[in-house]
Amino acid sequence: MLRIELLTDQRDSLGEGPLWDVDEQRLYWIDSYGPAVHSCDARGGERKSWPVPEPIGSLALREKGGAIVALRSGFFTLDFATGAVERICETQPGELRPRLNDGKVDRQGRFLAGSMDFEESDPVGALFRLDPDLSVHELDRGIVCSNGPCFSPDGKTLYFADTGRRVIYAYDYDTATGAVRSRRVFASFEGMRGLPDGATVDAEGFVWSVEVYSGRLVRFDPNGVIDRIVNLPVESTTSLTFGGPDLDVVFVTSMARPYQGSYHRHREAGGLFAVIGLGVRGLPEPRFLG
């Protein structure tokens, strides 16, 4: 039977980027405007936090330990032992409007993250790939708000949402080089209650997107047709990941900050939720190889 639990009652201003690590059996997520990285076990216990110096959009765990974090100005390393944060590079130097946002590691251990317009109105964002040698490559541009990058089980399709345009795109993804081509609309949210935000792909190859401002999980089949909708306790949900010992629990982040001057109707806004009993398993998320 489906049930939804409030895992932690800490109210994140903008909870985002949940990531389950199968090696540690721990959940990581961020508060974009905390700004901080958080971690806990599968039941919300053993919490740890690391502050970061700029708004944060996403993180990737490293094979060698620690993390790569996508901060406002670019890619940085985070040392979990010391809390030290060191810059790798700026992604759009001299540009004041974009900040790095959502990201995900591909099946080959490269980290993809896109940027967004701070004002969420103009297409000043871009999509970047950070390789294990710490070189950065621009894959696409003209994006209003980058969100929800995730990969098909074989790694050959990249799904990527532009929240500002209300669409999820699909690209052909070259697993050898990390290049993208043939962008097309995978799913449109025109006429739906909310907008596409964070996303992941399950073991059956279906895409799960969090519909922000409506509080729903939307599952699409590989052709972009809606297969299932799951209602959540708050409207301000932002992103999701499969986790737990059997990768069959969906962890969902949310935000407490007001939206367009309006406060959220639900007191749990900003909380971290566990959705149990969906009958679907996820795939393990790779670590960054650099």
| Residue type at position 29 | W
pLDDT at 265: 61
User: Tokens in use for 37?
Assistant: 């990285």
- Set out the domains of the chain in order of their start, with CATH numbers: 3-276 (2.120.10.30)
- Residue 137, class by beta-carbon neighbours within 10 Å (0-12 exposed, 13-18 middle, 19+ buried)? middle
Backbone angle region of 230, left / alpha / beta, with phi > 0 → left and psi within -120 to 50 → alpha: beta
pLDDT at 203: 98
Q: Are 41 and 275 in contact (CB under 8 A)?
A: no
- Annotated binding residues for substrate, as ranges? 99, 101, 119
User: Tokens in use for 225?
Assistant: 């047709």
Average pLDDT of span 21-44: 97
With 0.75 as the threshold, say if the pTM is over it: yes
Catalytic residue among 31, 197, 202, 248: 197
Catalytic site includes residue 154: no
pLDDT at 263: 53
* Strands of the 74-78 sheet, one edge to the other: 56-61, 67-71, 74-78, 85-90
What is the bridge-based pairing of β-strands 146-151 and 136-143?
Answer: unpaired
Alpha-carbon separation of residue 54 from 10, 100, 140, 143 (angstroms): 20, 10, 24, 21
Q: Are 100 and 91 in contact (CB under 8 A)?
A: yes
pLDDT at 262: 52
More confident residue, 119 or 103: 103
Averaged confidence pLDDT in the chain: 95
Q: Are 112 and 139 in contact (CB under 8 A)?
A: yes
- Annotated binding residues, as ranges? 16, 99, 101, 119, 147, 197
- Annotated binding residues for a divalent metal cation, as ranges? 16, 147, 197
What is the bridge-based pairing of β-strands 48-51 and 56-61?
Answer: unpaired
Q: Residue 261: is its pLDDT beyond 70?
A: no
Q: Residue 269: is its pLDDT beyond 90?
A: no
Average pLDDT of span 239-251: 98
80-89 LR contacts (CB < 8 Å, sep 24+):
80/50, 83/50, 83/51, 85/52, 85/53, 88/130, 88/134, 88/136, 89/134, 89/136
pLDDT at 41: 97
Q: Tens digits of per-residue pLDDT, 40-71?
A: 999 999 999 999 999 999 999 999 999 999 99
% of the chain beyond a pLDDT of 70: 97
